[in-house]
Chain A
Amino acid sequence: MSEAVRVRRKLAFRNAIQVAGMLPILVLLGIMFQLLSGWVEAGNLSGAWAEGRFMSWQNLSIVMQQASINTVLAAGMTVVILTGGIDLSVGSILAASAMVAVIASKLEGLGLLGIPAAMLCGLLFGAINGALIAFMKLPPFIVTLGSLTAVRGIARLIGGDTTVFNPSLPFAFIGNGTLAGLPWLVVIAIAVILVTWFILRRTVLGVHIYAVGGNPDASRLSGIKVWAVILFAYALAGLYAGLGGVMSAARLFAANGLQLGQSYELDAIAAVILGGTSFVGGIGSIWGTLIGALIIAVLGNGLILVGVSDIWQYIIKGLVIIGAVALDRYRIQGSARA
């Protein structure tokens, strides 16, 4: 075996480990919840696996649906964090877009317009974030902290601070229907992941996103339009948040500007970080984010199955996020030394 081949194999292996990242944790959590939920049922460990309810097809489908909206938000967040930024406003944008979606869905005969209207609404808010950051050179944290609050206000304003309903929502199938056995929510989440992967890994823009996050000064000097990359990242995060708005409106047949999407941005950020994306930008993958979002959903679902109280769910979720990332650090250091 030639030296070049050996080095290439080593790099491929390391790459695989990086992509797999948190996958072992996800699998471990799944096994643990299967055993624990079975133990709760059967009362002993010997029959626990067979009795477990976690790994039933029905429950896994629920987990994926629960993960879907966060996955979509986290995909946009991944792109933003890869450029070295952060977007705190996605939860609020989701709420505003959901309001727009439900209100537009009431248009006689044109109800399906609610989908593009909501996505356009998200795109618009995202583009405003991006423009402020790219052209006025304001820090992303500050800009999106501002829009977190402002867009939340707008979301309440849109519906006159009430909950808007549409019991005959023309796109209700998105929230409740299936496509070839897969829930539409899951289909959309998978599509978003694939599109994001394609942008990041198959296009010039994707390379520029990594470059801007890795070294903004060098990016400018090597002729990359840094402003365009940043504008794109926030606009995409906004667009995905708008899509998230459609998804959540379709599930609930309703939207509420005050409550919808509260602290969703934190779950999205947690998914990205669990997925191994570097907070300073330039390093990370969309597959990691998918696994991160699934871990968060599995935790939520599994703890309920096992019968852990709401309060303890919060505590355990928080600790698992910190612990998983700590473990990841340790693992990366270990492999670098080897």
Chain B
Amino acid sequence: MRVITDIGFWGLGVVAVAAGAAVFYVDSMARATYALAVSFIAVGVQVLFLQQNYVGVVTILMMVMEMAIMAVYMVMFMGMNPALVPMSMVHSNKAALGVAAATFLFLAAGILLVDWPERTGSPPPDVTRALGEALMGPKMLVMAVISPVMVATIVAAVVLAAHRTRYDRFGDDLKRHTPDDAQPGGVGR
């Protein structure tokens, strides 16, 4: 059993890295997007192997959804739609190669030079809870305060960036009953 799970775990690692590399190798936005999704799914299943079930399933859920939404954006914002025809997934090759090589050497040096700590103790029965408490425990108040502030920031940014204001929608005296919108809505507009 131990051997099978080991092979499964490292096999998924290979899939994750290969799919990640494929993102830059393929010549279509759709393939690149879903190669990235495959990479994340492999990582999510690896996290399941580590018994972080919630984190693993959420990783798969969020990443697949994110890639599907990316498919929406790539048609919305990619101008004359290079997204729909074959295109290269790389640019600034020389600079990128230099940065990649330097980063690899830096991280590899770190792995080789740092003394790794010896393991003390054993995993707690519920590793997800332990991880959550280690990450959030003393900072829960900060997290609880930051989330509404972040939502308010997003809403404010969208309101400020919007081309049309409430005066365009409801008239100069704001007395128009149904808003005048270019895009029809589903609940009475």
- Bind each other: no
| Chain B interfacial positions (CB closer than 8 Å to A) | none
